[in-house]
Amino acid sequence: MLTAPGPVPSVTTPGPVVALDIGGTKIAGALVDAAGGILARSRRPTPAREDAETVLGAVEAVLADLAASPLWSAAGAVGIGSAGPVDAVRGTVSPVNVPGWRDFPLVERVRRLTGGRPVSLVGDGVAMTAAEHWLGAARGHDNALCLVVSTGVGGGLVLGGRLHPGPTGNAGHIGHLSVDLAGDPCACGGRGCVERLAAGPHLARHALDGGWRPGPDGDASAAAVARAAGAGHPAALAAFERAARALAAGIAATAHLVEIDVAVVGGGVAGAGEVLFAPLRRALADYATLSFARGLTVVPAATGTDAGLLGAAAAARA
């Protein structure tokens, strides 16, 4: 038990909050101050193939590291951003890539591990969005979509100046909008989802199918495809073009559905820079056709690899 020595500080204190970023490969934790400064941090690999309690053990180890900080006792609420799906109403998580956790009561378990501190839970796409709205490229925008284009495609929404996590904390799942209703089957059970067309592994597969080949280092990642596209390889360019069109259709759908004025794109695939953003902007003009969507801009994310922790901290303060 990582019980604070005295009474747990109130959520409204200007002191730090405890942030947890839970993914399929790593579990990160931090103490984050009111300005977004990271005062202490820890991370462990996610034992993703192990049983539920072993996975929780990694969370407990991260919290123990943070509790060793002299600032721990001043830390108030806890915010968790977790790989989804999550259920913020019941406080449970069922991360696709962590099979041992199905409807796992993470909120209650973390509450007990942190001396009864109040715990907030959002999905990882919502957390990244909270971070970009607080400190990144969506700052000052009242209506925004933020996306993470990586091994999968996730996202979150800001509507009317506030984070819109939805009733269960899952809103903004842009990766599973079908933009090709008779297209290839997606891991989610649907067809032609944005993720199926734009996520890194699918993008790289499309380049391979088109005749692109990795170099001597054998690197067949989306980053390697991006380098080939930058050098003008037609199959690599075609793979980014296809991903960009899928992302554009999904972003335009969001603009037509809820009205947004900016789309912020982060994640490893977005690291390709103009190789992705140039065709994305072109394609957006083809799909965001209605008058109220024409001012929409697309920009790179700004909060970097700490987005999950900063977003979890924002959720704790909300």
Instruction: List interacting residues with its own copies (CB under 8 A).
Output: 85, 87, 94, 142-143, 157, 159, 164, 166-168, 170-174, 176-182, 186, 188-191, 245-246, 249, 252-254, 256-259, 286-287, 289-292
**Residues sharing a CB contact under 8 Å with residue 199, sequence separation 6 or more, in sequence order:** 149, 150, 151, 152, 153, 175, 269
Pick between residue 189 and residue 232 the one whose CB is nearest to its own copies.
189
Pick between residue 254 and residue 303 the one whose CB is nearest to its own copies.
254
Pick between residue 62 and residue 126 the one whose CB is nearest to its own copies.
126
| Dihedral over Cα of 262, 29, 60, 118: its sign | negative
Pick between residue 120 and residue 143 the one whose CB is nearest to its own copies.
143
Q: Kindly state the smallest distance separating residue 198's Cβ from its own copies, in Å.
A: 11
Q: Kindly state the smallest distance separating residue 176's Cβ from its own copies, in Å.
A: 5
Beta bridge mates, 45: 26
b (16+ CB within 10 A) / e for 134-170: bbbbbeebebbbbbbbbbbbbbbbbeeeebbbbebbb
Please give the Cα distance from 20 to 31 (Å, whole number).
Answer: 9
Cβ 158 vs Cβ 142: under 8 Å = yes
**Residues sharing a CB contact under 8 Å with residue 166, sequence separation 6 or more, in sequence order:** 172
Q: Kindly state the smallest distance separating residue 20's Cβ from its own copies, in Å.
A: 21
Pick between residue 14 and residue 161 the one whose CB is nearest to its own copies.
161
Cβ 153 vs Cβ 198: under 8 Å = yes
Q: Kindly state the smallest distance separating residue 31's Cβ from its own copies, in Å.
A: 31
CB-CB neighbours of 279 under 10 Å: 21
Beta bridge mates, 263: 145, 298
Pick between residue 82 and residue 143 the one whose CB is nearest to its own copies.
143
Q: Kindly state the smallest distance separating residue 142's Cβ from its own copies, in Å.
A: 7
CB-CB neighbours of 47 under 10 Å: 15
Q: Kindly state the smallest distance separating residue 86's Cβ from its own copies, in Å.
A: 9
Q: Kindly state the smallest distance separating residue 258's Cβ from its own copies, in Å.
A: 5
Answer left, alpha or beta for residue 194, where phi above 0 means left and psi between -120 and 50 means alpha: alpha
Pick between residue 215 and residue 295 the one whose CB is nearest to its own copies.
295
